[in-house]
Amino acid sequence: MRLGPPRANWKPVAQVTDRAGRVLAFVKIGHDELTSTLVRHESDALHLLAERPLADVRVPEVRGTVQQDDLVALVLSPLEAPEPPAGDAATRRVLLDVVSAIAAPDRRARQPWGASAFAGGLARRLAAAGARALPAAQLLRRLMDERGGEELTFAPWHGDLNPGNVRLAARGPSVVWDWERYSEGVPLGLDLLHHDLTSAMDVQPPVAAAASLASRSRAGLESLGLTSSDVLLVTALHLLELVTRYLEDRQDQAGSPLGRIEEWALPALETTVREAVEEHR
């Protein structure tokens, strides 16, 4: 049984082995409304990805879903971790290939982002998240007023592409786990931003990692096809998505330090929105 630090979306993961110790499956267990919803969503996402396999990316197979009273268990096939790329440059190239593959080139579309379902969804979610969401809602409104008419590329994303959920491969397909946040129709580049942010948080405080996110990710975002003027805008949208998620999940009440968004995410969001607006003028 695998455990972890306090998070609202924490869930036990059981490793199933045979008598010889060979791993047969992993079982993720949803034990409340939030975690059960995430487990069911991952099941749906993996069934979808089984029908539309990603280039050079392997995902777990769903072996079964079991509901018992208030618990939901998702049984997944194990994935063998590949040999990683050698060196930082090769690792970055493979990561960008994985991000691009998840963003399924045949499922991308361009449109004014302020009129997108993504932007409308953010606004509705923030409106439902209570008083703590008001600063983020105001920043979203300002961004929409100033730059909402600009077109962005929308695509699928993993939704939680952190270093613990992906194993990059030197050769052949990389493997990616934990698809419970997968969705479509988000601005291209959010997965890279999420990976870069969570990687930086492993070595520096969240406030510093968030403040330097746009500059850290700029070259990678531009290699995915974003323009220079897109970078600050898409970085702001990623931070808005994270703030909204942490508020919805009530991460602060679960004891997660990242749930204290006023200490790290909101300052970075305010700066990024201001710079994105000033850049446009």
Residue 211 dihedral angles phi and psi, to the nearest 5°: -65, -30
Six token digits for residue 158: 């993993």
Which has the closest alpha carbon to 36: 78, 5, 14, 66?
A: 66
pLDDT above 80 for 4: no
pLDDT classification of 5: cutoffs 50, 70, 90? low
Q: Which residues pair with 113 in a beta bridge?
A: none
Q: Where are the domains of the chain?
A: 13-76, 88-280
Q: What is the mean pLDDT of residues 265-274?
A: 98
What's the burial of 139, exposed, middle or buried (CB within 10 Å: 0-12/13-18/19+)? buried
* Measured distance CA(87)–CA(9) in Å, rounded: 33
The beta strand positions in 59-105, using DSSP E, are 62-68, 71-76
The amino acid present at 3, given as its one-letter code, is: L
pTM strictly above 0.95: no
| CATH architecture classification, 13-76 | 2-Layer Sandwich (3.30)
Handedness of CA 172, 177, 182, 186 (dihedral sign): negative
* Per-residue pLDDT at 14: 85
Q: How confident is the model at residue 232 (pLDDT cuts 50, 70, 90)?
A: very high
Cα–Cα distance, 103 to 92 (Å, whole number): 17
pLDDT digits (tens, 9 = 90+) for 22-33: 888 889 998 888
Q: What is the mean pLDDT of the chain?
A: 94
Report the pLDDT averaged over residues 29-49: 92
| Per-residue pLDDT, 246 | 96
**What is the predicted pLDDT for the residue at 56?**
92
Measured CA to CA, the distance from residue 119 to residue 144 in angstroms comes to: 8
**pLDDT tens sequence across 185-220:** 999 999 999 999 999 999 999 999 999 999 999 999
For 88-280, the fitting CATH number among 1.10.150.120, 3.30.930.10, 3.90.1200.10, 3.40.1710.10 is: 3.90.1200.10
